């Protein structure tokens, strides 16, 4: 690690001695202070018992000079709960680095490679700090601009492993080797524009991964045993079509037989079909999305679960909502079995009014219900200095599939909820505004019904203040979750943000029930939290 740091600093300083380049960077840091609250389940783990505080930080530098681009990111985790939300992890070092060089039409990158093929269903290496996803490919990538209308790129390497037992960021890699090839074109026929592409991915298992798979297969019943394969191949074809006000994207992906985990290890191929269609005219916009997925687990090996060893990204068909209660039951994509579709219609009859209508329908391939959403929202700006927004969501959510068995789920696997909501924003003057938000969820399953209210005061561009409360108004008497012992609790959130130039500071007192929480476009299931959260973001 020290050698990497010294090498990168040496290269950067050497490059700057010959020519003046461009230096940029950013810092992101989060701080958590844990306050025990046994009534809501924020207790009984090291975070609340003895650690009491934790932090995450990422500091990035980019330097471009004479056709070279140098990139380095230092990561620091001190008693961090990103890896395990009920435990702590500590690590420090170089989280990512790369050196790139452009030579005419050829671009060479060595180090941490972040890229994707098509929409990312076949292959996507990316970073999502809120979920501690950093599945960079450590290796070599070449990109070549064959012509003005066609480019090709290829890579080889190993996936970064930041989920080991004793590490978060150091240079540990998953054993299997990856190789990928991707080509994209651009062609027009009159008013029709096409952007076709293809992708090929090969993953070769290492001996340790194969031995682990073989041991698991041999432990299964003889009727379920099979001969595992070292190599998996996957292929994709995709295309974007633009015609006047119409945009259509379609992608098909197939992977060959390999061992995947479906309760036990099985030998199956996999496939995904995905499409999205957008059409707009004055006053009207229509969006359609659909996906069929069957046995499409893309990982370094079936030994990895949850967020570990991911080679791709599956688009979530349901719309992710920012509202606290409306987003509480957001459905994650299912890789083994899913048939999903969403239709969204936006109507703007005049400059003051907008109406948004959505229907989502998700089953597994057997036809079992996973998710339904009917959503209607209207926004009106016809009153001077006011924005009025309101709507309602109806949803059906398969707790058994998305949360797993346990508690009262076995007796009531489907949650039914109706959530009306309203939001009022008043512009006081050119810099000041105040916003009020209210939501109510009628539900009998899981924890029962909830009420939520928020008031926010903004002074542009410097200050933002908010206070909110979430209250379990009608608890589910059949819920036997041992971590939630006081259904009458209020879940307060007091928030302050200060922004000056590129620097943004936030601090909040948070009392949060377990469940899905969406922040900054990232949705994940989180345990109960009680304490203070602070952050700093800056760039230069």
Which tens digits make up the pLDDT trace of 407-452? 555 566 899 999 999 999 999 999 999 999 999 999 998 888 999 9
**For 515-522, what is the mean pLDDT?**
62
Retrieve residue 206's tokens.
Answer: 């290492």
Does the residue 256 lie in any domain? yes
Confidence of residue 164 (pLDDT cuts 50, 70, 90): low
- Convert the pLDDT of each residue in 145-155 to its tens digit: 999 999 999 99
pLDDT of 128 reads 86
Does the residue 245 lie in any domain? yes
Number of domains in the chain: 1
- Convert the pLDDT of each residue in 497-514 to its tens digit: 999 999 999 999 999 888
Confidence of residue 90 (pLDDT cuts 50, 70, 90): confident
Q: How many CB atoms lie within 10 A of CB 502?
A: 11
- Convert the pLDDT of each residue in 177-210 to its tens digit: 999 999 999 999 989 999 999 999 999 999 999 9
Select from 173, 168, 174, 172 the least CA-distant residue to 87: 168
What range defines the domain where residue 210 resides? 104-271+290-315
Whether the per-residue pLDDT at 306 is higher than 60: the answer is yes
Cβ 2 vs Cβ 516: under 8 Å = no
Q: How many helices (H) and strands (E) in the chain?
A: 4, 31
The better pLDDT of the pair 168, 119 is held by: 119
- Convert the pLDDT of each residue in 339-397 to its tens digit: 999 999 999 999 999 999 999 999 999 999 999 999 999 999 999 999 999 999 999 99
pLDDT of 484 reads 58
Q: What percent of the chain has pLDDT over 70?
A: 90
CB within 8 Å of 367: residues ≥ 6 apart: none
Does the residue 178 lie in any domain? yes
Angle at CA 145, nearest 5°, toward 141 and 148? 155
Confidence of residue 3 (pLDDT cuts 50, 70, 90): low
Alpha helices per DSSP H over 62-179: none
Whether the per-residue pLDDT at 42 is higher than 90: the answer is no
Does the residue 259 lie in any domain? yes
Whether the per-residue pLDDT at 529 is higher than 80: the answer is yes
pLDDT of 346 reads 97
Select from 166, 188, 94, 103 the least CA-distant residue to 134: 94
Does the residue 242 lie in any domain? yes
Does the residue 253 lie in any domain? yes
Cα dihedral 12, 158, 77, 495 sign: positive
**DSSP, residue by residue, 269-327:** EEEEEEEEEEEEETTEEEEEEEEEEES---BS-TT--TTTTB---PPP-SPPP-STTTT
Cβ 444 vs Cβ 472: under 8 Å = no
Does the residue 281 lie in any domain? no
Lowest mean pLDDT among 116-125, 324-333, 492-501: 324-333
Q: What percent of the chain has pLDDT over 90?
A: 69
Does the residue 251 lie in any domain? yes
**DSSP, residue by residue, 430-475:** SSEEEEEEEEEEEESSTTEEEEEEEEEEEETTTEEEEEEEEEEEEE
Confidence of residue 19 (pLDDT cuts 50, 70, 90): low
- Supply the mean pLDDT for the chain: 89
pLDDT of 14 reads 52
pLDDT of 168 reads 64
């Amino acid at each position: 690690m020290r050698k990497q740091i010294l090498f990168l600093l040496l290269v950067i300083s050497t490059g700057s001695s010959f020519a003046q380049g461009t230096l940029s960077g950013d810092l992101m840091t989060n701080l958590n202070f844990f306050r025990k609250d046994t009534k809501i389940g924020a207790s009984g783990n090291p975070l609340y018992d003895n650690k009491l505080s934790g932090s995450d930080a990422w500091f990035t530098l980019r330097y471009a000079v004479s056709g070279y681009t140098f990139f380095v990111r230092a990561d620091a985790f001190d008693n961090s709960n990103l890896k395990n939300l009920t435990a702590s992890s500590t690590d420090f070092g170089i989280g990512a680095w790369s050196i790139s060089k452009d030579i005419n039409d050829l671009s060479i990158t060595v180090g941490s490679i972040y890229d994707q093929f098509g929409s990312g269903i076949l292959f996507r290496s990316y970073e999502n700090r809120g979920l501690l996803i950093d599945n960079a490919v450590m290796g070599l990538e070449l990109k070549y601009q064959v012509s003005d209308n066609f480019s090709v790129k290829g890579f080889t390497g190993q996936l970064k492993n930041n989920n080991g037992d004793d590490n978060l960021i150091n240079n540990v890699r998953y054993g299997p080797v990856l190789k990928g090839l991707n080509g994209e074109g651009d062609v027009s026929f009159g008013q029709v524009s096409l952007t076709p592409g293809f992708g090929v991915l090969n993953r070769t298992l290492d001996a340790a991964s194969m031995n682990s798979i073989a041991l698991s297969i041999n432990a299964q019943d003889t009727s379920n045993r099979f001969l595992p394969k070292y190599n998996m191949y996957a292929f994709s074809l995709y295309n974007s079509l633009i015609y006047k006000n119409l945009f259509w994207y379609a992608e098909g992906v197939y992977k060959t037989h390999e061992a995947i985990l479906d309760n036990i290890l099985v030998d199956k191929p996999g496939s995904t079909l995905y499409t999205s269609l957008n059409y707009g005219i004055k006053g009207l916009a229509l969006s359609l999305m659909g996906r069929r997925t069957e046995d499409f687990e893309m990982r370094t090996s079936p030994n990895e679960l949850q967020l570990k060893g991911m080679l791709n990204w599956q688009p979530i068909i349901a719309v992710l909502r920012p509202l606290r209660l409306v987003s509480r039951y957001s459905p994650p994509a299912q890789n083994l079995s899913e048939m999903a579709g969403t239709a969204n219609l936006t109507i703007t009859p005049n400059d003051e009014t907008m109406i948004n209508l959505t229907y989502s329908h998700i089953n597994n391939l057997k036809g079992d219900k996973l998710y339904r959403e009917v959503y209607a929202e209207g926004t009106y700006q016809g009153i001077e200095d006011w924005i009025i927004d309101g709507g309602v969501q109806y949803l059906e959510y398969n707790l058994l599939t998305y949360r797993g068995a346990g508690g009262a789920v076995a007796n009531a696997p489907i949650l039914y909820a109706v959530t009306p909501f309203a939001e009022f924003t008043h512009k006081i003057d050119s810099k000041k505004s105040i916003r009020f938000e209210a939501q109510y969820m009628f539900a009998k399953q899981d924890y029962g019904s909830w009420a939520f209210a928020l008031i926010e005061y903004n002074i542009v561009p410097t200050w933002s203040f908010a206070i909110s409360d979430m209250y379990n108004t009608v608890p589910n008497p059949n819920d036997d979750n041992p971590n939630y012992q006081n259904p009458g609790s209020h879940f307060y959130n007091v928030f302050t943000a200060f922004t000056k130039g590129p620097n943004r500071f936030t601090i909040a007192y948070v009392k949060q029930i377990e469940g899905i929480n969406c922040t900054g476009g990232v949705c994940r299931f989180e345990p109960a939290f009680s304490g203070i959260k602070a952050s700093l973001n800056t760039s230069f």
